[in-house]
Chain A
Amino acid sequence: MTSATYSKSSFKQGLAVFWWSVRSNLPIIIIYLSLLAFTSMLNIVGTMGVSTMLGGVMDEEVSIIKNLPISSEISNAALFGILFSIIASIRCFGYLHGKREIDMFGSLPVSRRTLFFSRLAAAAAIGAAPMLVVLLALNIFAPHTGDNSLLNTLNAFLGITANVTFIGLLSVCCGKTSDKIISYLMINFAFPVAIIMIQVMPASFLSGYDLQFHKLFILALTPLAAHFSNMPIYWTVFSAACIALCFLLLKRRKSESAQSHFAFKLPHVLIKLLASFATGVVAAYIFLLIGVDYKYKPDLGTEYLKFWLGMIIGSFLVYLCVQIILAHGFKGFGKSLITYGAMIVCFGVYFTVLATGALGYSSYVPSADSVKSVSFTDDFNQGLLVRRSVDDRKVIEGAVDAHKQIIETTEKEKSMIVLSGKTISKKIDNLSRYMYIDYDDVNNFTVTYYLKNGMKIRRSYIIDKPRKIRFLYTKEYQENYYPLFTFDEKYLREAWTDSCYGDDYADFNRKESLELVKAIREDYRKYGPVKNDDYDYYSAQFTFYENDNKFENDLVFYQYVDVPAEYKATRKLIKAAN
C-alpha cells in the first residue's frame, strides 16, 4: 500500500538523480577518459623522446619524467574538461527543453530545484572528475616541477564550473537546446569583441587616450576562456551568481516553454544586441579603411560617414540574422526594432561624446599647482622597475610643459585613421622591453599625474619629433626617470656583456653587475647618451627580478645598454672581466 508520508529527503533524492544522470552519461565519460589518457600518454612519451634527444641520458629516467611539463598537461586536461563539461551540460539540462522529457522529469516526486541542481552537479562531475583523476595520477607519476600546478588545477576546475553554471543559466532561460547552444557561443564570442570595441573606440577620436585592455571586463561573460584567464576569484563569484540566478528563475520558469520559445527574454535580447553591436563596430572600422592608401588625406566628414555606414549595415544585418535564427522567422521583429533603435541611439551618444572631444579629454592639462606627483614614461623607461612618480616641483612643472608641447604637436591629428594607427603602433611598441641609450628614436610618451585631490590623470602619445620636447634632455628628467638611475638594486639578478661582433662575451655575477651599473651611470653622467654610429661598441645586458618572489624560473625584466667607446669606465670593467 502507498504510505501516507514521504520520508526521502531532498538530499537523498538529489543524490539519486545525480548518480542516475552520471550513469546515463557513462559512454561520454568513457570517451572523455580515453581521450584524456591517450593525450597524456602522448605528452609523456613526447617529453621522454625530446629529453632523450636533447640530453642522451636514458639512465636518468626519473629526471626525464620530472621534466614533464605539468602545466601544459593541465591545460590539455582542462581543454578536454571544458569541452566535455559543455557536452555533459547540454545533455543534463536537455530535460528543460524537450516536451517529452519535461513530462517525465516534471512529474517525478523531486522538486524542480533539487532536480536542476542535481543535474548541474552531475554535469560538473562528468567534466571535472576524469580530469582530476588523470591529473592526480600524473602528479603521482610526475611530481611537481616548479610550475604552479595547484593553482592551474584550480583554474581548470573553476573553468569547468563556470561553463556548467553558465550553460545551466542559459538552459533555464532558453526553450530549446539549439537556442541554448547558439546563446552560449554568441555570448562567449560577441561579448569580448563588443567590450574590446568599446575600449578601442576612444583611441580613434582622442589624442592622448591611453588604451588599456581590462581582462576582467573583456572576459566577464566568456567562461569558455575561464581556465586561461587566471581569475579564480572572479570565476568563483561568476559561478555563484549563475547558481543564484538559476535558483531564483527556476520557480518562475514555465515548463511549457520547452521546445517553443525563450522562457526569459534577457538572453534573447542580450545576444541580438551583443552580436549586432560587435559586428556593427567591426564593420564600421572595415568601412573606415575603404579607400585608404599611402596617399590618404584625412577628411573627418568622410571618415564619420563611412564609419556610420559600416555600423548601420553591419549591425542591422546581424540583428536581422540573429532574429531569424532565434525566432525562426520575423515574428516580433518589428517590435524588437525598438531595442535595436535604443542600441543605435546609445551608440550615437557614445560616438558624439567621443567625436566632440569627450568633454576636453584631449586638451586638458592640469595646472602644476594641482599636481602632487608625476610619472613620465617613454620608450626607455616603460619597464615595471621604473614606474615611479616624482613630487619634485621642477619635475612637475617640466612634465606639465612637456605635456602642453606634446598636445601642440598632436592637436592637428583629428583623423580617426591616423589616431587608430598610432594607437595600434603604440600597443605593438609596448610589447618591446629593450632599452637603448639613444634618444633619436624615442616617440612613445605616457604621463601620469597624481593630483592633490586624489584623482589620477593618464595620457599616452606617439609623436614624430621628440627632439622638440626639451624636458627629456634636462638633468631633472634623466635622473628621475632614467632606468639606470632609478631601479631598485635588490631586483638586479645578473648581467653579461659582449662585443658587437659577438666574440667578447663575459658574465657578471650580482656584485660585479652592480659595479657595472655604477660604471655606466658614471660614464653616462660624464658623456650623456652617445649615438652608436661606429662599429666599435659593446653591449651590456641586465636581467632583473620583476617582484620579490625570486624564483629561479620567474619571468625577469631585461635591459640592453649600448656601451660606446666614450664610456671608458665601463669599457675598463668589461675588459677586466674578459
Chain B
Amino acid sequence: MLEIKNVSKSFGDVRALDNLSFNVSEGTVFGLVGSNGAGKSTLLRVINGVFKAEQGEILIDGENTFENVKVKNKCFFIPDFPFFYNSSTIENTAYLYRRIYENWDEEYFKLLCSMFPINPKQKVINMSKGMQRQAALILALSTRPKYLFLDEIFDGLDPVVRQLVKKLLITCVTDNNMTVMIASHNLRELEDICDHIGLLHRGGILMERELDDLKLGIHKVQVAFGEEADESIFDGLEIVKLSRQGKLYNLTIRGDADEFMPKIEALNPAFLESLPLTLEEVFIHEMEGAGYDISNIL
C-alpha cells in the first residue's frame, strides 16, 4: 500500500505540495488529475525519491521511500519526458536495469520488444516522442515493478499503442497485483483504465475516491416545466451548477440519484432526464467548486 502522510514540498516561495495525505491500495490503478501546477509531477517525484519531502512521509508497504533502495527496487517511475542519453538504445539501457533491478524479467523484456513497433537497437534519441515513451514503458515493465508511476504516459501515443499500453497495464494489475499511479490531463484515457481518482489542486488533495463513486456522486439533470418556475424550487438539492434556457434547466447535482430524482419528480416537470457525467465534466465541476476560475479559461 502507498501511504502519503502530510507531505509538503516547496520550491522557493512556491508551495507545490501542501500537507497532502491520501492512500492508494495495492492492485489499483490510481489516476492523478489536477490543474496545471497542481503538484502532480512533484508528487510522483517525491514518491519515487527524486525529491525529498520537507515535511511528512511517504510509505510504500510500510517503509519510507526516500533513499530506500529496497523500496525503490519495487517501483518504477516514467516521467513526462523520459531521459535517454544521445547514444542510448533500449538494449544498452537494459544493460543497466537488468543489473540493478532485482526482478528484471528478460523473457518479458523480449516479449515486450516484440509487441511494440520499435527497434531495441535503434538510438532512442532519434525516435519520436511517442516511441520514446514506448521505450521507457518496455524497460519499466521489464523490471516487474510492484508500483508503477507514470506521468502523462498517453501523451504522443497513437490510438493503437494507447490500447496496447492500457491492456498491458491492466494485465499486470490483474496478474501481478501491480499498483499503477498515472498523472494525466487526458481524462478520457484515465476514465477507461483507472479505478480510483485523486484530484489535486494547489498542492492539496481536493478529493480522492473510486471512479464509480465519483461518477455516481454527481449527475447532470435536464428538467423542463410547463410554466416558468423560480430557481428556488430546487432548494433542498445540492446544486453544483444551474443554467437555464427558457423553460429548460440544466442542473449538476451532487448526491445519490435515488434520493434527489423523486424530489424533482415531485415538482411535476414536463421533461426530466438524468445523464452520466464524463470524468472531464466531473473534473471541471469539482475544480469550479474549489474556486478555479474556469470562466476565464473556457
B interface SS class: loop
B50 contacts across to A, CB distance below 8 A: 102-103, 106-107, 255
Is residue A109 contacting chain B, with contact meaning CB distance below 8 A? Answer: yes
Q: Mark A1-32, 1 if CB is under 8 A from B, else 0.
A: 11101111010110111011001101100000
Task: Determine how close the nearest CB of chain B comes to the CB of A328; give it in whole angstroms.
Answer: 15
Q: Mark B31-58, 1 if CB is under 8 A from A, else 0.
A: 0000000000000010011111000000
A interface SS class: helix
Pairwise interchain contact A98-B83, C-beta atoms closer than 8 A: yes
Q: Mark B72-115, 1 if CB is under 8 A from A, else 0.
A: 11111101011101011000100110011111000000000000
> Given that A100-B83, A106-B49 are contacting pairs, would A3 and B102 also be in contact in the complex, using a CB cutoff of 8 Å?
yes
Pairwise interchain contact B100-A2, C-beta atoms closer than 8 A: no
Is residue A394 contacting chain B, with contact meaning CB distance below 8 A? Answer: no
Pairwise interchain contact B95-A20, C-beta atoms closer than 8 A: yes
Is residue B188 contacting chain A, with contact meaning CB distance below 8 A? Answer: no
Q: CB-nearest residue of chain A relative to B146?
A: A2
B74 contacts across to A, CB distance below 8 A: 2
A254 contacts across to B, CB distance below 8 A: 51-52
Q: Mark A490-516, 1 if CB is under 8 A from B, else 0.
A: 000000000000000000000000000
Other-chain contact of A103, B70, B77, B88 (Cβ < 8 Å)? B77
> Given that A1-B176, A6-B73 are contacting pairs, would A103 and B79 also be in contact in the complex, using a CB cutoff of 8 Å?
yes
Interface size class of A (residues with CB under 8 A): 35 or more
Complex Cα spacing A10 to B73, Å: 13
Q: CB-nearest residue of chain A relative to B99?
A: A16
A2 contacts across to B, CB distance below 8 A: 74, 103, 144-146, 176
Total inter-chain residue pairs, C-beta < 8 Å: 97
Task: Determine how close the nearest CB of chain A comes to the CB of B277; give it in whole angstroms.
Answer: 34
Complex Cα spacing A499 to B213, Å: 114
Pairwise interchain contact A106-B100, C-beta atoms closer than 8 A: no
Is residue A111 contacting chain B, with contact meaning CB distance below 8 A? Answer: yes
Is residue B67 contacting chain A, with contact meaning CB distance below 8 A? Answer: yes
Pairwise interchain contact A27-B72, C-beta atoms closer than 8 A: no
Pairwise interchain contact B99-A100, C-beta atoms closer than 8 A: no
Is residue A523 contacting chain B, with contact meaning CB distance below 8 A? Answer: no
Is residue B69 contacting chain A, with contact meaning CB distance below 8 A? Answer: yes
Q: 29 interchain pairs (CB within 8 A)?
A: A2-B176, A3-B102, A6-B69, A6-B73, A6-B102, A8-B73, A10-B69, A12-B99, A13-B69, A16-B99, A17-B96, A20-B96, A27-B87, A98-B83, A100-B82, A100-B83, A106-B45, A106-B50, A106-B51, A107-B48, A107-B50, A107-B75, A107-B76, A109-B72, A109-B75, A110-B100, A254-B51, A255-B45, A256-B11
Interface residues of B (CB under 8 A from A): 11, 45, 48-52, 67, 69-70, 72-77, 79, 81-83, 85, 87-88, 92, 95-96, 99-103, 144-146, 176
